[in-house]
Amino acid sequence: MLTDSHCHLDRLDLTPFGGKLDGALAAARAAGVSRFLCVGIDLENFEAVHAIALAAPDVWCSVGVHPSENEGREPSVADLVERAARPRVVAIGESGLDYYYNEGDLNWQRERFRVHVRAARETGLPLIIHTRDARDDTLAILREENAKEVGGVMHCFTETWEMAEAAMELGFYISFSGIVTFKNAESLRDVARRVPLDRLLVETDSPYLAPIPHRGKSNQPAWVSDVARFVAELRGMSYEALAEQTTANFLRLFARAQ
């Protein structure tokens, strides 16, 4: 069975499913998806994300504030630790650095990232990292804040092999989304071929980044199977073997998701 290691179930387009999340989850289960990690992006949406995880036995969630969210409440370590203690919360994030959509003085973003790493170390939970156009600073903060104590995942990875290697040295897994299927992603496909099998995850990041052949549509968790098939073909292995291994990796990293 397959795992969608990163999705935003509270943001899906549920029109094809009569407006019901149960329909989207049922479609994913029918496609062989057995676990879902619903990822938080701000404190304001945490209660909705947590409620989804509480309502389904195969859904877990995280707590965090995305680096591009700048209108909600700024998180403290205490905020994150308190929410992380709740049932079915298995990770801190997503957090990190995004210099693509933000400009000017971004020290606030770096300080927020540090708060997340400190909360992860206090709780012992792994981190879910978002990084874009911020390679050096992302790695520097992870090292300075001793993120290696907890590890985590570089979600929706789009960086170089050198960054993948550096992240894995810090105890991080590398997760591939539908981007790896895009025509202009050959360098990323090379990374997907090279990541050790025991450090590999797959995800949808739904409702974003639908893989080929669904590109342009609102993504859904069922389509993690398309990502997995594509990566399996890249690596010259069976879909079933890749599904089994990535699920085992997920359970090893997110130890609470049992």
pLDDT score of 72: 85
For the whole model, what pTM was predicted?
0.97
Delineate the domains of the chain, giving CATH numbers in brackets: 2-253 (3.20.20.140)
Mean pLDDT over each residue of the chain, to the nearest integer: 97
Taking the C-alpha atoms of residue 250 and residue 200, their distance in angstroms, rounded to an integer, is 9
- Where b means 16+ CB within 10 Å and e means fewer, 55-68 reads eeeebbbbbbbbbe
When pLDDT is cut at 50, 70 and 90, the band that residue 85 belongs to is very high
- Say if residues 130 and 95 touch (Cβ distance below 8 Å): yes
Please give the order of strands across the beta sheet that includes 127-132: 2-7, 33-38, 59-63, 89-98, 127-132, 152-154, 172-176, 200-202
DSSP code string of 107-166: HHHHHHHHHHHHHHHHHTPPEEEEEES-HHHHHHHHHHTTGGGT-EEETT--S-HHHHHH
Tell me what percent of the residues of the chain surpass a pLDDT of 70. Answer: 99
The residue whose two tokens read 């980044």 is: 209
pLDDT score of 108: 92
HSE (CB half, 13 Å, CA atoms) of 172?
A: 27
pLDDT score of 156: 98
What is the mean predicted confidence (pLDDT) over 189-195?
A: 98
pLDDT at 102 over 80: no
When pLDDT is cut at 50, 70 and 90, the band that residue 105 belongs to is confident
Taking the C-alpha atoms of residue 248 and residue 1, their distance in angstroms, rounded to an integer, is 10
Taking the C-alpha atoms of residue 184 and residue 163, their distance in angstroms, rounded to an integer, is 19
Residue in 257, 258, 254 with CA at minimum distance from that of residue 120: 254
What is the mean predicted confidence (pLDDT) over 201-217?
A: 97
pLDDT score of 258: 87
pLDDT at 69 over 90: no
Burial of 122 (0-12, 13-18, 19+ CB in 10 A): middle
Cβ count within 10 A of residue 182 = 15
H helices of the chain, where?
21-30, 46-55, 77-84, 107-123, 135-144, 161-169, 186-194, 224-235, 239-253
Strand partners, 91: 62
Summarised one tens digit per residue, pLDDT across range 16-27 is 999 999 999 999
pLDDT at 104 over 80: no
